[in-house]
């Protein structure tokens, strides 16, 4: 962990004045005890840590507005935080920053089944959105692996997806409107019951902006009728490249499963030891799920079986009951927790064209051997959203550095084959120095000019996304800056 110098008396005096002003603005919501702010010093990318100046947990849009106005007035940086499940350091604070957390903003504000929408405060968890409409026969489609804990506000910030995004899309495809507070405290409404009506697609700009343009406090989300039925199959192969080729063939045939998930042998063995789902010991497996009426399901699975047989699968297991379906999904849903048995790991996030899966999987294996570090693969294969897990020992000097270097090479590979640095985890601090691998200086300048419009003083989550040397002139120009630990 980086060792920071002790703050001088003027810094302490400024901190005390800011905390007092925050308490006046939103009584009973401020945390500044160092023992308690440590909870907020990192997110799920826990390799780096920095305690914030203070944390505030508002309950309403009006309270967020008051807090933002106050921080803007005093030139205090702000870092928005949902549930802290970000895997890219998106909600990691700096020492001079106030964290505004959404943990208390969990209310359901409106449910309109006739219009197929629900409006919630942005601190509500992803899974509980579906829970709120389940009794009326609806569900919310985006389903990140962290859906039990992750907040809708964070989902919007990172444009999160999930296992079922192949058919239903990611957050931006299911987001109709937001209420957002700008850095100066101004409250704006973007979108509406039918989405953005016309003009500039500001809703699309905000979704995936990683908390750099404003804090989303309320969200109107599209809900969908639950399908009549769903059935998964498990297809096992003797090589990862063959499994990848089968995925490309399924997509090329025009079949649209609701999900195609990939796991390789290291991940299969770890999840079996952890969850005992009954997976075969094979080089790689696919979980393919289709949905619809019983005849529709039978027709789709028959076509998938025919395609898979062309790749000589080790096993083709079709679910025959709800319990079998649960067990097929059990290992996949447990994968990220199970991988902790193998050691510390970095979970990457990059996207590639589905047709490039065999080539990329082979190259990742070569890079793994070059660096002397194991890589396990579990990801959303249907849309090419990869999540290689790089296993290392954080207590061994140099291991983390090697793991990060390997991760950078894998992400560059994604870009080289026509993909992207991120699919759903965002850029955060993890990939900000890799942005030049995908974007030209002109591209980055255009993106930063968008931030200039929403946050001219660069006070909101400013040390994220853009390489620090590229954004330095903008960040350093803001007046009344405190000590910056970034």
Query: Which CATH number does the domain housing residue 424 bear?
Result: 3.30.70.2740
Residue 9: predicted pLDDT: 55
Mean pLDDT of 190-201: 78
State yes or no: pLDDT of 5 exceeds 70: no
Same domain, yes or no, for 243 and 295? yes
At 340, the pLDDT band (50, 70, 90 cuts) reads: confident
Domain assignment present for residue 441? The answer is no
Question: What's the token pair of residue 364?
Answer: 């990742």
Mean pLDDT of 337-354: 89
Residue 482: predicted pLDDT: 38
Pinpoint the alpha helices (H) of 26-145: 34-37, 61-74, 126-133
Residue 10: predicted pLDDT: 60
* Distance, CA of 147 to CA of 350 (rounded, Å): 19
Please report which helix (H) or strand (E) contains residue 359, including its range. Answer: helix 357-371
Domain assignment present for residue 438? The answer is no
* Tens digit of each residue's pLDDT (9 = 90 or more) over 64-89: 999 999 999 999 999 999 999 989 99
Please report which helix (H) or strand (E) contains residue 316, including its range. Answer: strand 315-318
Number of domains in the chain: 4
Same domain, yes or no, for 211 and 238? no
Mean pLDDT of 369-376: 95
* Distance, CA of 80 to CA of 440 (rounded, Å): 28
CB atoms within 10 A of CB 401: 10
Torsion of Cα atoms, 78 then 82 then 85 then 86, to 10°: -40
Domain assignment present for residue 3? The answer is no
More confident residue, 198 or 237: 237
Domain assignment present for residue 486? The answer is no
At 341, the pLDDT band (50, 70, 90 cuts) reads: confident
State yes or no: pLDDT of 1 exceeds 80: no
CB atoms within 10 A of CB 441: 9
Domain assignment present for residue 242? The answer is yes
Domain boundary among 324, 339, 354: 339
Same domain, yes or no, for 307 and 326? yes
Question: What's the token pair of residue 218?
Answer: 């309320």
Same domain, yes or no, for 196 and 245? no
Please report which helix (H) or strand (E) contains residue 436, including its range. Answer: helix 435-438
Mean pLDDT of 195-200: 70
Closest to 220 in 3D by CA, of 109, 65, 135, 81: 109
* Tens digit of each residue's pLDDT (9 = 90 or more) over 261-316: 999 999 999 999 999 999 999 999 999 999 999 999 999 999 999 999 999 999 99
What integer best gives the mean pLDDT of the chain? Answer: 92
Residue 307: predicted pLDDT: 97
Same domain, yes or no, for 242 and 221? no
Domain assignment present for residue 468? The answer is yes
Rounded alpha-carbon distances, angstroms, from residue 38 to 49, 50, 87, 93? 9, 8, 18, 11
Domain boundary among 225, 254, 269: 225
Residues 6+ apart with CB under 8 A from 65: 181, 185, 186, 187
Closest to 223 in 3D by CA, of 268, 160, 155, 174: 174
Rounded alpha-carbon distances, angstroms, from residue 467 to 42, 429, 459, 470? 19, 9, 16, 5
Same domain, yes or no, for 356 and 428? yes
- Indicate the SS3 state at residue 5: coil
* Distance, CA of 232 to CA of 288 (rounded, Å): 5
Domain boundary among 307, 339, 371: 339
Task: State which residues form the domain around 273.
Answer: 228-339
């Amino acid at each position: 962990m980086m060792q920071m110098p002790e703050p001088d008396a003027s810094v302490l005096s400024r901190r005390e004045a800011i905390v007092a002003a925050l308490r006046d603005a939103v009584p009973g919501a401020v945390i500044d005890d160092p023992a308690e702010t440590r909870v907020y010093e990192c997110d799920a990318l826990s390799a780096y840590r920095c305690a914030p100046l203070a944390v505030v947990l508002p309950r309403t849009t009006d309270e967020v507005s008051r807090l933002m106005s106050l921080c803007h007035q005093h030139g205090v940086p702000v870092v928005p935080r949902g549930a802290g499940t970000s895997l890219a350091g998106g909600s990691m604070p700096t020492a001079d920053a106030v964290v505004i957390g959404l943990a208390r903003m969990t209310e359901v504000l409106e449910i309109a089944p006739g219009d197929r929408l629900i409006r919630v405060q942005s601190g509500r968890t992803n899974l509980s959105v579906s829970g709120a409409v389940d009794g009326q026969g609806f569900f919310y489609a985006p389903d990140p692996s962290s859906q039990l804990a992750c907040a809708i506000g964070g989902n919007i910030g990172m444009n999160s997806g999930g296992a079922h995004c192949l058919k239903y899309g990611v957050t931006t495809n299911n987001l109709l409107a937001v209420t957002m507070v700008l850095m100066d405290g101004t409250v704006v409404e973007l979108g509406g019951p039918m989405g953005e009506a016309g003009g500039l697609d500001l809703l699309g700009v905000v979704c995936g902006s990683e908390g750099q343009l404003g804090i989303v406090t309320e969200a109107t989300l599209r809900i969908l009728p639950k399908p009549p039925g769903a059935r998964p199959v498990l297809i096992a192969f003797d090589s990862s490249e063959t499994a990848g080729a089968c995925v490309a063939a399924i997509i090329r045939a025009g079949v649209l499963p609701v999900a195609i998930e990939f796991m390789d042998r290291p991940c299969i063995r770890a999840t079996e030891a952890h969850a005992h789902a009954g997976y075969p010991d094979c080089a790689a497996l696919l979980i393919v799920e289709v949905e619809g009426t019983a005849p529709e399901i039978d027709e789709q699975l028959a076509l998938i079986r025919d395609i898979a047989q062309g790749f000589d699968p080790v096993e083709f297991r079709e679910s025959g009951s709800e319990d079998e379906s649960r067990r097929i999904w059990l290992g996949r849903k447990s994968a990220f927790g199970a991988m902790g048995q193998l050691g510390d790991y970095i979970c990457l996030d990059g996207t590639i064209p589905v047709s490039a899966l065999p080539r990329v999987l082979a190259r990742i294996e070569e890079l793994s051997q070059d660096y002397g570090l194991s890589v396990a693969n579990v990801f959303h294969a249907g849309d090419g959203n990869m999540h290689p897990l790089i296993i290392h020992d954080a207590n061994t000097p140099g291991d983390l550095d090697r793991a990060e270097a390997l991760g950078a090479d894998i992400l560059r590979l994604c870009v080289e084959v026509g993909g992207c640095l991120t699919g759903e985890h965002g850029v955060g601090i993890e990939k900000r120095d890799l942005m030049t691998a995908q974007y030209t200086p002109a591209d980055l300048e255009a993106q930063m000019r968008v931030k200039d419009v929403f946050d001219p003083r660069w006070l909101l989550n400013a040390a994220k996304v853009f390489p620090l040397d590229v954004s330095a002139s903008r960040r350093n120009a803001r007046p009344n800056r405190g000590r910056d630990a970034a």
